[in-house]
């Protein structure tokens, strides 16, 4: 004990201030929890593991250290995520690609299973750093990656800009991946180009699209790798700074599938924020989202990156999920968009959509509230387009609140500058207000996802007064907290409409401030299993009638039970229909239904009835019971 429990090595010592900062953030997050939640976090290993993901911790060794110190019987005495991966690669038969794609929790669970297996063979007194084990795993994962077989295809992201000439004749998007073999200093910087194998998927993340902000990135489309890389002397058609290279890697692509309308990466990052932040843990620096924090931006010079399963799923959603991040078709053409168009894409009748729009026009601020899967994000964008009268993404801004979000992020605050000073920067809300003031003849919309995850009084500050419908004029202008005394007073224009989204089933979220609640109209969204449009949508996607009948009957019965359990749950915990909205490529049969129930519905029920396992097991059994 006097010698300590282990050594985290030079990396930990060099990064000690950042590890300590991470620890402070963790303790702040822990202090914000309820006593019951805190008791669970500190007494149950996997609850503590999930808690660690609340604070973004890319590469932080302290996450591994704390897990072991608090729960040494569950988590290994290993402070390196890289070493954990090497242990699994060296001592199990799992494919290295699968292990490298695991998040921290998946690796920990796999290590726990490995320890149990070895314990059964030779007893519990061993350590993975013992020579008999370390000699087998220390070099695992260091060898050059072998091409993946088509059945184990990898997923990649091409992060590029048309400003560099990409997309021109001979180098069209989706036709080739092309890079020098070495950087200008001779380093093997583009070795990643040797990784893609035939059958792998490549997503194209592009900046510099015509008619778009020059630095804004868009998900443009995806392709499939046709052949392994070639080393050629041929240069790209417009190579930019690559023109002096003597040799290039060139990879042929096929099956290019561009989106009808490119999706702003900001929207995907907002929608999948929690997954992306959690996924960034343990990831290498050369990654499509290498600047960790609220702003996911690719590092300069990173052209091709291998994606984990989390990011691959996030990028696949606009292609595979009709209720995902994508804007309505032809949004880039700014076509007229009405409540009838919204009703065509949703399962809510036009009459209800008209009522919501009428309420929104009168109140200026509304909140969509509902349980998981009722389509809040999907409906918010459709309602926004219907309100402004056309599918114009330039007039719809999206932001997501979270526990670390503050007034300085949303409204105005000081930010570091490259010369190590500080400068006053406007937040997203001031930018949206400025755009609305300059475009007074048209409506603008701000969508706030997870609005009750933040400290609303702290985030809104003096805006609490100014967002009221009758206080949107210049006569109510007020000076902002950080504004200079010579600066003009600020007011919110009346052509800016705000729509928030609130998850009613998340027990960890605080109640909405009563002062703010008075300034918003609340619109409940309910599951639409009984909707004829939902049934027609499933049938149109090829779901068999017997599966549709089972979904509707069993999910309605389950939701009735949840709604009736007013002591513990209630209507706000009903399970939404989006869980059963088909994705492209699904085979709609028994296996599809059971997969959704086992991997998506059952874990939710386990959280709902965590103190009544018999009730949870009975509900799961009814969902999975054979058809009569």
Task: Check whether residue 366 and residue 490 sit in a common domain.
Answer: yes
Please give the Cα distance from 527 to 577 (Å, whole number).
Answer: 5
Q: Is residue 143 part of a domain?
A: no
Task: Check whether residue 481 and residue 563 sit in a common domain.
Answer: no
Domain edge (last residue) among 458, 489, 524: 524
Q: Is residue 486 part of a domain?
A: yes
Task: Check whether residue 117 and residue 183 sit in a common domain.
Answer: no
pLDDT of residue 168: 60
pLDDT of residue 325: 37
pLDDT of residue 273: 59
Task: Check whether residue 375 and residue 500 sit in a common domain.
Answer: yes
Convert 572-624 into a string of H (helix), E (strand) and C (coil). Answer: HHCCCHHHHCCCCCCCCCHHHHHHHHHHHHHHHHHHHCCCCHHHHHHHHHHHH
pLDDT of residue 324: 38
Please give the Cα distance from 283 to 103 (Å, whole number).
Answer: 9
pLDDT of residue 151: 46
Q: Is residue 471 part of a domain?
A: yes
| Residue ranges with strand state E in 302-443 | 304-306, 365-370, 396-400, 412-416, 422-426
Task: Check whether residue 298 and residue 183 sit in a common domain.
Answer: yes
pLDDT of residue 484: 74
Task: Check whether residue 519 and residue 537 sit in a common domain.
Answer: no
Task: Check whether residue 502 and residue 538 sit in a common domain.
Answer: no
Range of the domain at 84: 9-137
CB atoms within 10 A of CB 61: 19
Task: Check whether residue 124 and residue 13 sit in a common domain.
Answer: yes
Domain edge (last residue) among 290, 320, 350: 320
pLDDT of residue 224: 92
Query: DSSP of 47-88, one letter per residue?
Result: HHHHHHTTS--TT-HHHHHHHHHH-TTTS-S---HHHHHHHH
DSSP tag of 327: P
| Residue 443 vs residues 130, 436, 468, 536: alpha-carbon distances, Å | 66, 7, 17, 34
Q: Is residue 226 part of a domain?
A: yes
Please give the Cα distance from 161 to 411 (Å, whole number).
Answer: 30
Please give the Cα distance from 171 to 175 (Å, whole number).
Answer: 7
pTM above 0.75, yes or no: no
pLDDT of residue 292: 32
Check which CATH number belongs to the domain holding 345 and give it. 3.40.50.300
Q: Is residue 604 part of a domain?
A: yes
CB atoms within 10 A of CB 33: 16
CB atoms within 10 A of CB 548: 20
Could you tell me which residues are beta bridge partners of residue 496? 444
Could you tell me which residues are beta bridge partners of residue 180? 248
Task: Check whether residue 520 and residue 536 sit in a common domain.
Answer: no
Domain edge (last residue) among 137, 168, 193: 137
458 near 510, Cβ under 8 Å? no
Place of tokens 């960890």: 508
Q: Is residue 144 part of a domain?
A: no
| Residue ranges with strand state E in 324-385 | 365-370
Place of tokens 């929104």: 360
Task: Check whether residue 385 and residue 494 sit in a common domain.
Answer: yes
Per-residue pLDDT tens digits for 467-478: 888 888 787 888
Q: Is residue 4 part of a domain?
A: no
CA proximity to 200, closest of 246, 147, 239, 236: 147
Task: Check whether residue 157 and residue 277 sit in a common domain.
Answer: yes
Q: Average pLDDT across each block of 10 residues of the chain; the chain has 628 residues. List them in order.
A: 62 71 87 88 89 69 89 89 85 77 78 90 87 81 40 78 66 83 75 88 83 72 91 72 73 84 72 58 43 39 71 74 38 69 85 92 90 86 91 88 85 78 84 86 90 82 84 82 76 91 67 68 89 84 86 91 84 86 66 86 86 86 84
Please give the Cα distance from 375 to 524 (Å, whole number).
Answer: 11
Per-residue pLDDT tens digits for 512-529: 566 667 788 899 988 888
Number of domains in the chain: 4
Query: DSSP of 245-302, one letter per residue?
Result: -S-EEEEEEEEEEEEEEEEEHHHHHHHTHHHHHHHHTT--SSSTT-S-SSS--PPTT-
Task: Check whether residue 511 and residue 539 sit in a common domain.
Answer: no
Q: Is residue 205 part of a domain?
A: yes
Check which CATH number belongs to the domain holding 222 and give it. 3.10.590.10
pLDDT of residue 11: 58
Query: DSSP of 433-497, one letter per residue?
Result: HHHHHTTTTS-EEEEEETGGGS-HHHHHTTHHHHTSGGG-SGGG-B--TT--TTSPPB---TTEE
pLDDT of residue 590: 81
């Amino acid at each position: 004990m006097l010698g300590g429990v282990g050594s985290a090595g030079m990396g930990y010592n060099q990064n000690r201030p950042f590890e300590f900062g991470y620890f402070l953030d963790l303790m702040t997050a822990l202090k914000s929890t309820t006593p019951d939640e805190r008791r669970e976090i500190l007494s149950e290993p996997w609850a503590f593991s999930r808690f660690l993901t609340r604070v973004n911790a890319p590469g932080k060794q302290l996450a591994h250290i704390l897990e072991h110190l608090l729960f040494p019987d569950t988590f290994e005495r290993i402070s390196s995520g890289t070493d954990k991966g090497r242990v699994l690669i060296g001592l199990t038969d799992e494919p290295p690609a699968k292990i490298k794609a695991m998040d921290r929790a998946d690796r920990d669970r796999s290590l726990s299973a490995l320890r149990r297996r070895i314990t059964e063979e030779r007893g519990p007194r061993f350590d993975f750093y013992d020579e008999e084990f370390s000699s087998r795993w220390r070099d695992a994962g260091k060898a050059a990656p072998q091409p993946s077989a088509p059945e184990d295809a990898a997923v990649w992201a091409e992060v590029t800009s048309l400003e560099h000439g990409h997309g021109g004749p001979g180098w069209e998007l989706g036709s080739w991946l092309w890079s020098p073999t070495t950087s200008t200093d001779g380093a093997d910087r583009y070795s990643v180009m040797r990784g893609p194998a035939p059958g792998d998927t490549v997503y194209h993340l592009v900046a510099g699209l015509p008619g778009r902000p020059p630095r804004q990135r868009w998900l443009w489309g995806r392709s499939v790798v046709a052949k392994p890389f070639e080393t050629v002397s041929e240069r790209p058609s417009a190579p930019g700074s690559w023109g002096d290279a003597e040799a290039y890697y060139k990879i042929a692509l096929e099956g290019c599938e561009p989106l009808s309308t490119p999706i702003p990466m900001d929207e995907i990052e907002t929608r999948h924020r929690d997954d992306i932040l959690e996924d960034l843990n343990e990831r290498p620096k050369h990654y499509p989202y290498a600047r960790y924090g609220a702003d996911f931006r690719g590092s300069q010079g990173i052209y091709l990156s291998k994606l984990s399963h989390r990011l691959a799923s996030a990028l696949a959603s606009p292609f595979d999920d009709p209720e995902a991040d994508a804007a309505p078709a032809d949004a880039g053409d700014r076509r007229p968009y009405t409540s009838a168009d919204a009703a065509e894409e949703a399962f809510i009748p036009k009459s209800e959509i008209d009522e919501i729009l009428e309420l929104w026009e009168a109140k200026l601020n509304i909140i969509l509230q509902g349980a998981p899967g009722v389509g809040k994000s999907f409906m918010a964008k459709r309602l926004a387009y219907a309100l402004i009268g056309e599918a114009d993404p330039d007039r719809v801004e999206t932001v997501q609140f979270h526990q670390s979000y503050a007034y300085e992020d949303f409204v105005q605050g000081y930010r570091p500058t490259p010369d190590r000073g500080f400068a006053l920067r406007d937040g997203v809300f001031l930018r949206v207000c400025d755009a609305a003031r300059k475009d007074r003849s048209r409506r603008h919309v701000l969508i706030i996802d997870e609005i009750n995850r933040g400290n609303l009084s702290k985030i809104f500050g003096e805006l609490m007064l100014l967002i009221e419908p009758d206080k949107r004029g210049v006569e109510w202008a007020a000076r902002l907290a950080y504004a200079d005394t010579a600066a003009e007073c600020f007011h919110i224009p009346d052509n800016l409409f705000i729509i928030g989204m609130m998850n009613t089933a998340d027990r960890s979220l605080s109640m909405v401030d009563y002062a703010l609640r008075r300034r918003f109209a609340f619109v409940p969204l309910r599951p639409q299993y009984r909707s004829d449009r939902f049934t027609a949508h499933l049938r149109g996607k090829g779901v068999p009638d017997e599966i549709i009948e089972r979904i509707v009957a069993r999910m309605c019965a389950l939701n009735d039970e949840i709604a009736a359990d007013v002591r513990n749950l209630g209507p706000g915990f009903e399970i939404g229909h989006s869980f059963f909205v088909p994705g492209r490529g699904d085979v709609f049969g028994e296996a599809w239904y059971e997969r959704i129930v086992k991997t998506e519905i059952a874990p939710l029920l386990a959280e709902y009835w965590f103190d009544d396992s018999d009730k949870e097991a009975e509900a799961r059994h009814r969902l999975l019971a054979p058809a009569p």
